[in-house]
Structure 1
Amino acid sequence: MRFFRGIAVPAKKAEHTVTNICQNGLTNGQGWWHMEHEHPGDLANLFDKHDLSIEDTRSGSGAVAAVCGCGDESGAIYYACRHNRSSDHNTPILIEFEADKSAAAVDGKDFLYSVFQGGDPERARPVLERSFGKAVQRYADRAWSTEDQSFRIAMCNLAIHDPEVIEAHHKNELVLAGRHGTIFRSAFTVTLPVGPEAIIRVSHPVPTQFVPQPDVRLVDLVRFAK
């Protein structure tokens, strides 16, 4: 499965960063970011648990280091050139790499979790199906069947690791506007390390002021949004 990662670094560190990624791949501790994800286990058995909670899906000891990435190049270029770029981190870098689907999870922190926790089902269902596939609907419907927020979050913890949801989201073409000004078609976390043999390309995209126009905004789907 092909992924694209967009970062921005200080100009004086740009060439060292490119060389390091080409030679060593993506490893834990590179840069200032730190991400983790944890596969909750048997999705089918957990889905059927009537009193499912966050504790059932996050052990606290099974998390592994991960890195964020998009399923499309344009999304990563936006992050490299706009969202992650600042006066100090002023040099965009685009990283294209391969990883097994089993190493990936949907990064739901800026969109999917908010929809599970506070989504209006009537407005959200069509968007979820188009952006995350039909498989996500059963998780969302179970989440919305109760006001228990621990149950809702736990259901999303299952959904982001469902292979059918991952595959459908990777193909998504809708531009989503999520929390914290994020704009993307697809967002993932991928287990580290990603070896140098999996790195396809590391390049400097031309800085752009282009901002993709969202097709769907989180704020229009939920009863609350941050």
Structure 2
Amino acid sequence: MPTFFRGIAVPRTSVDEVVSDIRSGGLRESGRSWLMRQQRPPDPDVLFGKPDLSLDDTRGEHVVEHPALCACGEIDGAAHYAWRHNRTDEDDTPILMEFAAPIEAVAVDGRDFLYTAFQLREPDRARVVLDRLFGPRVLRYAERAWDRKEKGYDIAMCDLAIHDPEVIAAHHANATVIGGRYRTVFRNAFTVRMPIPPEAIVSVWSPRDKPPRTVPEVTLDAIR
């Protein structure tokens, strides 16, 4: 199974308790899991060929929501979230964790880059960038999204792309530093369905040394 890294920040007085809780209980839908939701559309290959694909197909009430958490495929992205993006005056201490998860529990987190690329409709600028960051398979979905003008079609098509195992694998292997929305900096970003059982936890620790800032190599300006 592929491994993932997650970076959080907690009050200094809670570090030992949080680390111990994750090691013994895994990552669950309670406590400091910063809950998200993941919706996996049914029969994505059938939906890909649906001429009137809509958000109701990919996000409707019939599409089951699963509790999920955010994670990166490499440690630098997780460290950015632990040290910078998630730290506050109260949650002042970073925690990093590594865990394994089956591919069927994973989706690309496209909120800070991929969905915007689908919606901007600049294929001449975006094709090379998306191929580099998400692999050639993602263009199967992007080209469809760019060709259609119906409201919501581009987002629905991206909903299918983020669950494609080939897109997930290619993004997990990406080595290019991405600058996304809200000053996010990452090489890859995912949502992973919970719970993550304790036996899937590889390591949990509070790092001492703040990493240097990572400079984005590709930003959304490249596809505007």
State the TM bucket, normalised to the shorter chain: over 0.9
State the 1:13 CA deviation. Answer: 1.1
Following TM superposition, by how much is the alpha carbon of 1:170 offset from its aligned partner in structure 2, in angstroms? 0.3
Alignment partner, residue 144 of structure 1: 146
| Identity of matched residues, % | 49
CA shift for structure 1 position 207:
4.1
How far has the Cα of 1:215 moved from its partner? 0.7
Instruction: Give the drift of 1:149.
Output: 3.5
2:59 counterpart residue number:
58
Alignment of 1:14-33 (within 5 A): 14-31=15-32, 33=34
The 3 A distance-change label for structure 1 pair 55 and 75 is same
Map 1:105-116 to 2 at 5 A. 105-116=107-118
TM-score, L = length of structure 2: 0.96
C-alpha spacing 1:187/1:205, structure 2 compared with 1 (3 Å): same
Alignment match, 2:6: 5
State which drifts further: 155-164 or 114-123. Answer: 114-123
Alignment match, 2:174: 172
- Gaps of at least 5 residues in structure 2 are none
Which secondary structure does the structure 2 equivalent of 1:92 belong to? strand
Q: Are the equivalent residues in 1 in contact too, given 2:40–2:163 (CA < 8 A)?
A: yes
* 1:69–1:76 contact (8 Å) kept in structure 2: yes
Q: Are 1:163 and 2:165 counterparts? A: yes
Q: Which runs of 5+ in 1 are unaligned?
A: none
1:108-131, CA deviations, whole angstroms, 9 ceiling, x for partnerless residues?
Answer: 011101111114111111110011
| Distance in 2 between residues matched to 1:186 and 1:119, nearest whole Å | 22
Q: Give me the whole-angstrom Cα distance separating, in 1, the residues matched to 2:120 and 2:7.
A: 29
Give, as a single letter, the amino acid of the residue that structure 2 aligns with 1:39.
R
SS state of the match for residue 40, structure 2? Answer: coil
Distance 1:207 1:90 in 2: 14
**RMSD across aligned positions (CA):** 1.2
Output aligned runs, 1:31-110, within 5 Å: 31=32, 33-60=34-61, 62-110=64-112
Taking the aligned partners of 1:111 and 1:60, their CA distance within structure 2 comes to: 26
Q: Give 1:214 shift.
A: 0.5
Residues 28-57 of structure 1 deviation map (CA, whole Å, 9 limit, x = unaligned): 122262201011011111010111001001
State whether residues 33 and 69 of structure 2, in contact with CA within 8 Å, keep that contact through their aligned partners in structure 1.
no
> 3-state DSSP class of the match of 2:152?
helix
Aligned residue-pair number: 222
Q: Is the 8 A contact 2:68 2:191 kept in 1?
A: yes
The 2-side partners of 1:7 and 1:119 are apart by 34
